[in-house]
Structure 1
Amino acid sequence: MWVEHDEGSPADEGSPSIRDGLVLGAHWGLLAFIISLSLYYLLSLLLTGLVFGGLVSTWDPSDLGPLVLLAFLPNLLLGLGPVYASRKWGSGMRGDFGLLPTGRDVRVGLACGGFSLLTAYLLNLLLLQVYGSEYLSDSATNVLQNLMSGIGWLILAAIVVVVVAPLTEELLFRGALWGGLAYYRVPPWVILVLTALVFAQVHGEPSRMLALFGQGIAIGAARMITGRVSASIVAHATNNLPPALLLLSGA
């Protein structure tokens, strides 16, 4: 399974660990997950330091669109690690992740994405009772609308929300991490729960952890049903579409 690369060239015959899908004693998916997530947090801290160090003061306060999009930059690192590791040590993007969606991937993804939205709606209603009206007052969509001026920046932000974030996050969580855990024969339902927990934690919104966990379960179900990351990408994009449309409605 791990011998052939996407380009069809054989893996290094002189390295048994690579032939077995192992790098430094661990499966390459777990290694890609750890390194990508570490770089994500490191870059996030550096950007936060730049902001609090006075970078914001050099921007036109009437249009912080470029600065907001810069905040999405660490998100790219979530997907670059799995892509590199898959091409170097795995079977390539199509072999490891099933990246090109089939008709079944789309159908299952849309269904799971719709279920994710329903799950989020019901859990948000519950959390609204717990936290009160303040719970939804500082949503990411409202923040982006307040910071950005101009339809161009809003459209670009919406593309990031619907296309870029689902792609990079799914390659990391339901791609590299899922594949690495599956290599060690962790039961699929345990992988589903663990990836959903990590998915919720990475978003850094403690008050919404329960809702994000529920969404992670629904999105991960698409991966578990089809065995392909492309299905979970469709589910994730479907889940993110309403917030993106809400974002554009403020233009």
Structure 2
Amino acid sequence: MGVTSPNAGEPVSGIDVPDVSDVPVVEVDEAPPPAHRWGFGAFLFVEAVLLVSAALVGALLVQGGSADSLPVHDVLIGTITPTVIAALTALAITKVRGNGPLADLRLSWRWDDVKLGLKFGVLGLVCTSVGVFVWTKAVGEQNSSSAISALVEDKPMSVSAAIVMFLYLWLLGPICEEIIYRGLLWGATERLEWNKEKWGRFAAFVLSTAVFAMSHLEPLRTPLLLVISIPIGLARLVTGRLLGSIVAHQMNNFLPALAILLTALGVVGY
């Protein structure tokens, strides 16, 4: 004998079944990431890897010569390799001592984060343009150039080398730096017991912004780098995830990277 399913709201064996079709769905907030076992020691180790690898790569490339006489492809290797090695080391630490980069560094793909990162990136471009203008007036044209600009200045560069430099400065470099500073350092700061209740992500924002600016080892440009890095850190602070700051950093680096590309190709002069 077949069994007929009753409609919602009709009694079943003397029990009223409520109609839930009109009950609103309540969105549950994203669960916090699992606790990881790495902290400031991991960040300091990655910074040491960055500095040591930069020194070793530089020594291997120079080999008795001088940095001023390095060919362009050696400049590319010396610029890109240490940062990539340090970022890969940071990812490995999250895998070995934590839950992996997706959970520990809050690295996930969300269109909302991309859109917000683009907005903060535009803000960063405005801050960078104003900051560079003011800074150039204050210290002079010769002292306002970045270290990378100084490295490629007056060096003949092939189209392929110029494109590689452009893609690194625009896309790859920001990913690596965000993994180290707004990823590893940020996570280490949030992990502190005294920080969880009182300051939270704001302390991570302040510390990562300051350390990021100083880590470029350009003392004269540190105030300018602080201004540049604030919108990038705000993207990480507002979204709570790393993708927003990566996109903001890439957006902020686009015009400077394009300027170096056009200069290297001889489209514009120094």
* Distance in structure 1 (CA, Å) of the matches to 2:120 and 2:220: 23
Q: CA deviation at 1:96?
A: 2.0
1:48 — aligned with what?
Answer: 58
Q: Are 1:105 and 2:120 counterparts?
A: no
Q: Are 1:121 and 2:132 counterparts?
A: no
Q: CA deviation at 1:123?
A: 2.1
**Structure 2 CA distance for partners of 1:134 and 1:247, relative to 1, 3 Å:** closer
Q: CA deviation at 1:125?
A: 2.3
What stretches of structure 2 of length at least 5 have no aligned partner? Answer: 1-31, 266-270
- Which residue, out of 176, 192, 203, partners 2:205? 192
Q: CA deviation at 1:29?
A: 4.0
* Distance in structure 2 (CA, Å) of the matches to 1:189 and 1:214: 17
Q: CA RMSD in A?
A: 2.4
Q: How many aligned residue pairs are there?
A: 227
Give the counterpart letter for 2:71 in structure 1. Answer: L
- Greater mean alpha carbon deviation, residues 182-191 or residues 146-155: 182-191
Q: CA deviation at 1:30?
A: 2.3
1:84 — aligned with what?
Answer: 92
- Which residue, out of 212, 215, 219, partners 2:228? 215
Q: Percent identity?
A: 27
The aligned runs of 1:1-251 (5 Å cut-off) are 21-22=36-37, 28-54=38-64, 64-71=71-78, 72-136=80-144, 140-141=148-149, 143-144=151-152, 146-185=154-193, 186=195, 187=199, 188-250=201-263, 251=265
Query: What TM-score, normalized by structure 2, do the two folds share?
Result: 0.76
Give the counterpart letter for 2:216 in structure 1. Answer: H
Q: Which of structures 1 and 2 has the larger relative contact order (alpha carbons within 8 angstroms, sep 6+)?
A: 1
* Distance in structure 2 (CA, Å) of the matches to 1:164 and 1:151: 18
Q: CA deviation at 1:198?
A: 0.9
**Structure 2 CA distance for partners of 1:109 and 1:2, relative to 1, 3 Å:** closer
Give the counterpart letter for 1:171 in structure 2. Answer: I
What stretches of structure 1 of length at least 5 have no aligned partner? Answer: 4-19, 23-27
Q: CA deviation at 1:2?
A: 6.8
1:14 — aligned with what?
Answer: none
* Distance in structure 2 (CA, Å) of the matches to 1:245 and 1:222: 23
SS in structure 1 opposite 2:114?
A: helix
Q: CA deviation at 1:45?
A: 1.9
2:29 — aligned with what?
Answer: none
Give the counterpart letter for 2:101 in structure 1. Answer: M
- Greater mean alpha carbon deviation, residues 91-100 or residues 70-79: 91-100
Give the counterpart letter for 1:105 in structure 2. Answer: D
- Greater mean alpha carbon deviation, residues 39-48 or residues 169-178: 39-48
1:10 — aligned with what?
Answer: none
Q: Which structure has the highest helix share of the two?
A: 1
2:24 — aligned with what?
Answer: none
Q: Any conservation in 1 of the 2:232–2:249 contact (CA below 8 Å)?
A: yes
* Distance in structure 2 (CA, Å) of the matches to 1:101 and 1:92: 15
* Distance in structure 2 (CA, Å) of the matches to 1:228 and 1:138: 28
Q: CA deviation at 1:31?
A: 2.8
